[in-house]
Amino acid sequence: MTVLLWLAVAVPLLGALTVRVAPWPGRLAALVAAGAAVPAVALLVGAANGSRASSAVSWLPAARLSFGLSLDALSGLMSALVGLAGAVVVTYAAGYFAEDARRRSALAGLLAFLAAMQGLVLAESYLPLLVFWELVGVASARLIAYSRDDPAAAPGAVRAFLTTRAADVGLYLALLALFAAHGSLSFTGTRPEGALGALVGIGLLTAAMGKSAQAPLQTWLSGAMAGPTPVSALLHSATMVAAGVYLLTRSADLLTGWPLQLAGWVGAVTAVLAALIALAQDDLKRVLAGSTSSHLGLMFVGLAAGGPAVAMFHLVAHAAGKAGLFLAAGTFQHQRSTTTLAGLRGAGRDDPLTFAAFSLCALSIAAVPPLAVFWSKEHIAAASEQQGLLFTAVLVAAAGSAAYLVRPALILWGDPVDARAGTGAARTRARTVMTGALAVPVVACLLLGAAGGPLSDLLDAAPLPSSTLSLVLSMTAVSAGLLGVLARPWLPGRLVAAARRQLFATELLDAVAVRPARLLARGLDRVDRLLDRAVDTVAEVGLHVARIARRVDQGGIDNVVDGAARLVGEAGGRSRLLQSGRWFEYLRDAMLGLLAVALLVALTAVLS
């Protein structure tokens, strides 16, 4: 098992290095990703059969902190999910990037990301978790910045990295507090008392909100859509954004009480607001990004109200559906070279197979029975039934999901326009690869509904909650949402406009963080120049005093200090020599003198 742990990280890492030089990068990458899924799935099987393993090396000896990986039910489950999602998406990407001159870079980036993500979910304590957590951030920023033609790519990547890094400050602080309280960074243990405990709770929650794109930090996810679509399918649906939920689940023991409750509220607010944002977007990928934030919010609610199994079930079910949606969107994008809804009008009619896959995944995310998300969301609703406001938020988000996904589906099936892409031979083969990869999430959406029970057993949790009331109410909400698509025109125009701009969250973040930092920086820069001038002034004043002294010296009492004056004169003469280029001889004399002394000293050192 120990070997499998390290293999799960090492295989994609080595793959990332070799893909850059291999002759068939596409095939090799797909092969590596599939190969990397093998140890991951084996870990899950092992964990299901009760295997536990851990392997660590001492890393910071003074703190007795070690760096390692370990296997338990939760990490096995996440590892398998990451491995399988990686295999599907990288295979798809091999087709998607088939004609891209820089495909090696993209594929290597995807594999490197997978390695970091495996490390994150298999980390044995908070130290390796922090390491991989940040590496995931960088790997994702690199992938978002991939396109050199899209002017939005670089700013999108920078915003994604900085937003998540800002939230990561919380993770650092939580770790510091944890170490101060327990003297270790292991996952086990209880939350310390008082201020340290508050720091642990707030810190972990903040970090999770950043990675999982929770309000008001959700805007980076929308900007990240400038990345290639397979990247979005892997990072922004199934893996990276799930890290926040994983962190909270992993830390559930540390967060019992108010922190989890707070996480539930954050999730509920995000679920509703992000659904509204998704409904207002004019770009298919941005619709999906909003939807992802909303569903991650539901996972927060599920964790707070129902526990780890409820949250993880929704995580898995949502991953399958959302990955499928992004992959289908990528295929449409290939045909139309755009992801705007207007530009994609009728794309579904041109490619009914992909459209069918898109629709099925959309229905799953919209929680239509008997597809996967229907079951997982049902458990979240049932778990939150006792808390009126959370429950209401879940229902509203459910209605929203149905509405914002049916809308693009209808547009895709709308009257075709004549902007068709040519289909050459190579593209057809690439298309086959892409369609084949798309089949996997579709099948998963069909089957994963039955996974709730086994998953709850695996995580050793209580049976997943369900109730008739919540079932009836959420079915009503979904139906309302499906019909409510027609309602979009009735939403106040100003609200739609605000939602399209992320409800001004970008402006909010700029106003409270970016702009003050910039102003402060500019102000301090000015202070610094003043300080510099002050130092120079002191030196100049000193020089003036010296000149005055010299004048006094020469005018009156020159005989008394004649010697000193001559010394000054000599020094000046010598420095003039220095400037005229003959300093070198002087230096040589000094060197020879130094050398003589050094040799003497060395001799005495050797002899003594």
The Cα angle at residue 26 between residues 144 and 98, in degrees rounded to 5: 70
Binding mask 169-188 for other proteins (x = CB under 8 A): x--xx--xx-xx--x-----
How many other β-carbons are positioned within 10 Å of the β-carbon of residue 218?
A: 28
- Rounded Cα distance, 104 and 24, in Å: 9
For the CB of residue 468, give the shortest distance to other proteins in the complex, in Å.
49
For residue 388, what are its two tokens? Answer: 């009126």
For the CB of residue 191, give the shortest distance to other proteins in the complex, in Å.
16
Q: Does residue 471 belong to the site contacting other proteins (CB under 8 A)? A: no
Which residue among 6, 59, 413, 504 contacts other proteins (CB under 8 A)? 59
Q: Does residue 101 belong to the site contacting other proteins (CB under 8 A)? A: no
Q: Does residue 425 belong to the site contacting other proteins (CB under 8 A)? A: no
For the CB of residue 196, give the shortest distance to other proteins in the complex, in Å.
8
244 closest CA partner among 78, 99, 113: 78
For the CB of residue 446, give the shortest distance to other proteins in the complex, in Å.
40
Nearer to other proteins by C-beta: 199 or 434? 199
For the CB of residue 146, give the shortest distance to other proteins in the complex, in Å.
11
For residue 120, what are its two tokens? Answer: 């994150």
Q: Does residue 58 belong to the site contacting other proteins (CB under 8 A)? A: yes
Residue range at the interface with other proteins (CB under 8 A); choices 326-334, 428-436, 513-521, 547-555: 513-521
For the CB of residue 298, give the shortest distance to other proteins in the complex, in Å.
29
Contacts with other proteins in 187-206 (CB under 8 A)? Answer: 199
Nearer to other proteins by C-beta: 20 or 429? 20
Residue range at the interface with other proteins (CB under 8 A); choices 90-98, 351-359, 494-502, 524-532: 524-532
Contacts with other proteins in 537-566 (CB under 8 A)? Answer: 539
Q: Which amino acid is at 251?
A: S
Nearer to other proteins by C-beta: 59 or 504? 59
Which residue among 3, 511, 521, 549 contacts other proteins (CB under 8 A)? 521
Q: Does residue 592 belong to the site contacting other proteins (CB under 8 A)? A: yes
For residue 279, what are its two tokens? Answer: 């409904």
For the CB of residue 151, give the shortest distance to other proteins in the complex, in Å.
7
Nearer to other proteins by C-beta: 159 or 345? 159
344 closest CA partner among 410, 399, 245, 255: 410
Q: Does residue 525 belong to the site contacting other proteins (CB under 8 A)? A: yes
- Rounded Cα distance, 491 and 289, in Å: 21
SS3 458: helix
Which residue among 528, 558, 562, 570 contacts other proteins (CB under 8 A)? 528
- Rounded Cα distance, 365 and 360, in Å: 9
Binding mask 153-172 for other proteins (x = CB under 8 A): xxx--x--xx--xx--x--x
- Rounded Cα distance, 185 and 176, in Å: 9
How many other β-carbons are positioned within 10 Å of the β-carbon of residue 467?
A: 14
Nearer to other proteins by C-beta: 79 or 147? 147
- Rounded Cα distance, 221 and 233, in Å: 12
For residue 364, what are its two tokens? Answer: 């799953």
Q: Does residue 536 belong to the site contacting other proteins (CB under 8 A)? A: yes
Q: Does residue 1 belong to the site contacting other proteins (CB under 8 A)? A: no
Nearer to other proteins by C-beta: 151 or 569? 151
SS3 241: coil
Q: Does residue 423 belong to the site contacting other proteins (CB under 8 A)? A: no
Residue range at the interface with other proteins (CB under 8 A); choices 256-264, 380-388, 396-404, 529-537: 529-537
Q: Does residue 130 belong to the site contacting other proteins (CB under 8 A)? A: yes
Q: Match 């003589």 to its residue by tokens.
A: 596
Which residue among 151, 454, 569, 572 contacts other proteins (CB under 8 A)? 151
SS3 453: helix
Nearer to other proteins by C-beta: 134 or 350? 134
Query: What are residue 139's DSSP bridge partners?
Result: none
Residue range at the interface with other proteins (CB under 8 A); choices 35-43, 87-95, 106-114, 585-593: 585-593
Report cis status (omega within 30 of 0) of the bond before 454: no
Which residue among 1, 138, 198, 498 contacts other proteins (CB under 8 A)? 138
Distances in Å between the Cα of 275 and the Cα atoms of 256, 259, 402 are: 28, 24, 10
Q: How many residues of this chain bind other proteins (CB under 8 A)?
A: 61
For the CB of residue 582, give the shortest distance to other proteins in the complex, in Å.
12
Q: Where are the alpha helices (DSSP H) in 459-514?
A: 468-484, 493-500, 505-509
- Rounded Cα distance, 68 and 113, in Å: 18
399 closest CA partner among 271, 231, 226, 250: 271
39 closest CA partner among 53, 25, 28, 26: 53
Residue 241 φ/ψ, nearest 5 degrees: -65, -25
Residue range at the interface with other proteins (CB under 8 A); choices 80-88, 436-444, 463-471, 580-588: 580-588
174 closest CA partner among 257, 230, 254: 254
- Rounded Cα distance, 246 and 476, in Å: 30
SS3 59: strand
Q: Does residue 594 belong to the site contacting other proteins (CB under 8 A)? A: yes
DSSP tag of 299: H
Asked if 123 and 132 touch (Cβ cutoff 8 Å), the reply is: yes
Which residues here bind other proteins, judged by CB under 8 A? 58-63, 130-132, 134-135, 138, 145, 148, 151, 153-155, 158, 161-162, 165-166, 169, 172-173, 176-177, 179-180, 183, 199, 517-518, 520-522, 524-525, 528, 531-532, 535-536, 539, 583-584, 587-588, 591-592, 594-595, 598-599, 601-602, 604-606, 608
